[in-house]
Structure 1
Amino acid sequence: MTTKVKARKFRVRNTAGAVSEAEAAEIEAGEIGTEAETGSERRETANAGDAAGGAPDDPAAETPKSPAEEIDDIRKENLTGRQLRMARRVAQKQGLSPSSDYDAVRLLRAKGIDPFKRSNMLELVVSDETVDATQQKMLSALPAKVSEKSEVPALAVTSEAERAQQIMDMQRDIVRRRRRRAAMLGIRLLFFVLLPTFVAGYYYHSVATPMYSTHSEFIIQKAEQSGGGGIGGLFAGTGLANSQDSITVQGYLNSRDALLRLDQDEGFKAHFSDPEIDAIQRLAPDASNEDAYKVFRKHVKIGFDTTEGIIKMDVIAADPEVSARFSRQLIAYAEQQVDQLTARLRSDQMQGADEGRKEAEGKMFAAQQRIVELQEKLGVLNPESEIAAVMSQIATLEGDLLTERLNLRTTLDNAQPNQAKVNAAENKIEEIEKLIAEKRAELTESSTASGSLARITAEMMVAQSELETRQEMLFQAEAQYESARMEANRQVRYLSLAVSPLAPDEPSYPRVFENTVLAFLIFSGIYLMVSLTASILREQV
């Protein structure tokens, strides 16, 4: 047995031009035929070997094989994918209904047709109309259902032109849908974002009334505290030490009381009810206090800088002079409020100290009056001087008495003393002793008109001691009053202007560009949120 020589194939570009579909099919069929001949030779060689090697009386060789065994034998032939596809097409042309490519080979061989012959393959190259009719016939002849274990049948063959046309149609449809969606998106953005933004920009540019803002800054301070130590002493007398007072003043300037006073003094409602102001910013002539308060909070902006302790105020009005006047009036209200912050504390401190001082003065005067009454009643100006005078007299009399006694003793020492001198000396001594007794009696014994000097001295000492006590209490009351006055002076708050309110010469509001951009962002955000919500609801429903 000889084997045909098989030439090596190469892919060579056709420079003369593109070959026709029929010629390409013939070339493909030739290649498949060559492969089929090779496969047939391999199969014949295998059958010959089996016949030569097998026993003639082997019962297994004569037994017919089942379709599954035949398919397994076909699988062992190692047919290529192209051969299997061509075999299936030949089987469909013959009107067979194979369940797989290998089953197509089995059915064709059972029918006596070699699917790999060149003649059978060239018959497949027909016109497009014949191919379409044949395909329709074969599709109608195919079974409705295949077994689960069978292989998936081959897909219908589509030409490159049809595939390109289908892709082009899909691309055109996608482009058309995208254009329609882009157009709808543009329309929605136009109506829900751009048009409202244009209206807002037109209002801010051409309709809104120009507003003038007057800026001012002030700080609340109090007197310096002497001897302040620690960290608190570092901030004494600064705005940071009075942050609570500053916040209180800020709250008062934002209150309805400030609005009512400003309307009563400067006509706040009348100014913002002016017909020259646009309808959106204008206040109705019969507006309530709540409506006026909303406009007041919008046009009077007050802030407190906690880092520097400064209150910053911006007053907005339709006229620059009116804006400056409103600002100065609000600063005057703030000064009054600052004065009232510690007025109660200062008045209470001064009132208590003044009452104590007056009470001490009254009691001191009463003690002095008591001493005067005792002096008038007793007839003694100074008991101590009276006692000193009496004691001086007693001392003088005692000296005279001692002198007389010495003279009397000298006289009695004579041998013949003069009796007249002795009697005179004795009488004189008795008189002196009586005088001394009387003087001593004045010190201790009470008389009918007044008491004794001892009693008078005691009463005067008590009155003098009470007077000294009252004088000391009056001195302490005076010191306390002075301390309260100094503390009250330290509690005094005063408002210092850092930036005085001046009338502007150019309007501050409206800010056309900033407000228009802000309106665009707001409308875009609303549209985005509504679109996302609608998309989520659409997917959920």
Structure 2
Amino acid sequence: MTVEKVDTPNEVLSPRTVVSLAPGRAASGDTGTQVRPQTRRRRWLTLSFVFCVLLPITLGTLYYTLVASDRYVSGAGFAVRGLDGGGGIDVVGAFTGMASSGSTTSESYIVLKYLNSRDLLENIQTAFPFQEKYSASDVDFLSRLDPNLPIEDQVDYWNGVIATTFDSTSGIITFDVDAFQAKDAERMANLVLENTRALVNQLSESARRDSVRFAEAEVHRAEARLREVLQQVRTFRDQELSINPAASAQLQIELLASLKMQLVDLRSRIAALGRVDESSPAKINLQRKADALKAQIAEQTLGIAAPPGKENPDSPLTGLLATYEALEIEKTFAEQAYASALSSLEQARIDADRQQRYLAVYSYPSLPEDAIYPRRALNIFILSVVAISMWGIGVLVTYSVRDHIS
């Protein structure tokens, strides 16, 4: 390096540095240290763009255009409805997220869970070669199912096969099933719909049984009580040899009244013969008849009821009547309870039938004509945007950190 001093017109000397580089000699100092890092940064920036942007986009384009298998989609739409006229609209659930009692929202959420459950997958596998179809050799390696996976991983794979939606306002549920053959997609969708209908019917029948179970238990208890009372009445009649003790007592009372009327008549006739000699045959005959009636009346009276303060085991009519009347009262109550239980059971069955649930299908599975998945152009575009965005964010973060450190 040589430094020359050049005179200005005003003869004021100002030093000016003149840099001369010898041929084949590398630059040194500040200028040299600024060139090499910039070149290195450009090289790394280009390599990162190639590996982080161009390579993923190229691989993704090759996969979606040459490797990815076509997937056909078939599905259905339905809603859980009730015979009571209640639809899927649940105002409380729409604002609070909780299903109100009597609505079909809870059953709809159960159906949604069932569509992604292991139970549904196992039911489908019993009627459709699920593993064979989805692990075929002509399926691309990224979409292919490994047949050796445990059932939990197969359920995760199934959740990628089926897509569900639920509108909590209208109660409408839709699902789509994709397969690598059009007929397989239609068959799978039909199986899903059949199993869902069976689930709703099972839930409805279970709710119906639960609704009438208590009423049926009450009927059984009332029936058992009535049978027991009827058996007690039958046993009482067999032991006492009387079908209706009350009627027998009524006959005895009527007989006693007749005997008393006859005694009164005899006494009046004896009183009419009061001035006649006591040894008169007519008066003696009347007196004998009166005495016989008195003895018969006393006997009948003892047969109906014992004297106050005394127990007469030979005259059980009063006790029999008390026992029979208690049994009759118990029988009446048992019959009324049984009739009330039957009425409650009938009403419970009517209410259960009114609350029955069923699957209202408005869109049935159909045979797809074109494979709508994978959406190659859209997926390639999304991959490009994501790759460029991630690369740009990474470059910005790297430069920000470098500037902050320096």
Normalising by structure 1, we get a TM-score of: 0.58
CA contact (8 A) 2:260 2:297 kept: yes
The residue type equivalent to 2:112 in the other structure is Q
- Match for 1:476: what amino acid? S
Q: Per-residue CA shift, 1:195-253, capped at 9, x if unaligned?
A: 64455344333432211100211212233179xxx988xxxxx9992222212221222
Once residues 292 and 236 of structure 2 are traced to their aligned partners in structure 1, the CA distance between those partners, rounded to angstroms, is 34
Contact 2:74 2:186 (8 Å CA) reproduced: yes
Q: Distance in 2 between matches of 1:240 and 1:279?
A: 48
Residue 298 (structure 1) aligned with residue 168 (structure 2):
no
Report 1:381-530 matches (<5 A): 381-412=243-274, 419-445=280-306, 451-490=315-354, 492-530=356-394
Tell me how large the CA RMSD over aligned residues is.
3.9
Is 1:280 the counterpart of 2:142? The answer is yes
CA offsets per residue over residues 110-168 of structure 1, 9 Å max, x none? Answer: xxxxxxxxxxxxxxxxxxxxxxxxx93448963579xxxxxxxxxxxxxxxxxxxxxxx
Counterpart-to-counterpart distance in 2, 1:253 and 1:289: 16
* 1:368 counterpart residue number: 230
Q: Any idea what the Cα deviations from partners look like across 1:308-363, whole Å, max 9, x if unmatched?
A: 11111000001111112112222233234334546665545544433332232222
Say which of 195, 208, 214 aligns to 2:68: 208
Calculate the TM-score normalised by the size of structure 2.
0.76
- 1:142 equivalent to 2:12? Answer yes
Q: Name the CA distance, whole Å, in 1 between partners of 2:206 and 2:126.
A: 27
Shift in Å, 1:291: 4.6
Aligned partners of 1:240 and 1:506: how far apart in 2? 42
Q: Distance in 1 between matches of 2:300 and 2:117?
A: 87
Give the Cα separation in 2 of the matches to 1:262 and 1:203.
Answer: 30
How far apart are 1:474 and its partner, in Å?
A: 2.1
Residues 220 and 239 of structure 1 are in contact (CA less than 8 Å); yes or no, is this contact kept in structure 2?
no
SS class of match (2:233): helix
Q: How does 1:132-171 map to 2 (within 5 A)?
A: 136-138=6-8, 142=12
- Output the CA distance in 2 between the equivalents of 1:379 and 1:538: 116
Give secondary structure in 1 for the equivalent of 2:6.
helix
Q: Percent identity?
A: 22
Matched, 1:217 2:77: yes
- Report the secondary structure of 1:219's partner residue: strand
Counterpart residue identity of residue 223, structure 1: L
SS in structure 1 at match of 2:142: coil
Q: Which has the bigger relative contact order, CA under 8 A and spacing at least 6?
A: 2
When residues 192 and 422 of structure 1 are mapped into structure 2, their CA distance, relative to the original with a 3 A threshold, is closer
Unpaired segments of 5 or more residues in structure 1? 1-134, 146-180, 233-237
> Does structure 1 retain, via aligned residues, the 8 Å contact 2:76–2:193?
no
Once the two structures are TM-superposed, the CA of residue 443 in structure 1 deviates from its matched residue by 0.7
Give the secondary-structure state (helix, strand or coil) at the position aligned to 2:103: helix
Determine the C-alpha separation between the residues in 1 that align with 2:361 and 2:233.
Answer: 59
Q: Which amino acid aligns with 2:288?
A: N
Q: Structure 1 residue 537 and structure 2 residue 401: aligned? A: yes
Alignment of 1:174-213 (within 5 A): 193=53, 196-197=56-57, 199-213=59-73
**Match of residue 189, structure 2, among 327, 330, 338:** 327
Instruction: Determine the C-alpha separation between the residues in 2 that align with 1:317 and 1:231.
Output: 37
Which of structures 1 and 2 has the bigger CA Rg? 1
Q: Which letter maps to 1:422?
A: K
Paired amino acid for 1:423: I
Contact 1:197 1:516 in 2 (8 A): yes
Are residues 356 and 274 of structure 1, via their aligned partners in 2, closer, same or farther at CA, if it must alter by over 3 Å?
Answer: same
Q: Deviations over 1:474-532 (max 9, x none)?
A: 23332343344344445543322221111212111122332232222222212321232
Determine if the alignment matches structure 1 residue 258 to structure 2 residue 258.
no
Change in Cα spacing, 1:285 to 1:400, as seen in structure 2 (3 Å) is closer
- Matched residues in 1 for 2:326 and 2:201: separation? 49
1:136 is paired with a residue whose SS is coil
Cα 1:280–1:239 change in 2 (3 A) is farther
CA distance in structure 2 between the aligned counterparts of 1:526 and 1:138, rounded to whole angstroms: 57
User: What's the CA shift for 1:451?
Assistant: 4.1
Match of 1:35 in 2: none
What letter matches 1:136 in structure 2? Answer: V
Alignment match, 2:239:
377
Is the 8 Å Cα contact of residues 7 and 13 (structure 2) preserved in structure 1?
no
Q: Is the 8 A contact 2:256 2:300 kept in 1?
A: yes
Tell me what 1:242 maps to. 104
Please say if residues 219 and 239 of structure 1, whose CA atoms lie closer than 8 Å, have aligned partners that are also in contact: no
Q: Residue type of the partner of 2:132?
A: A
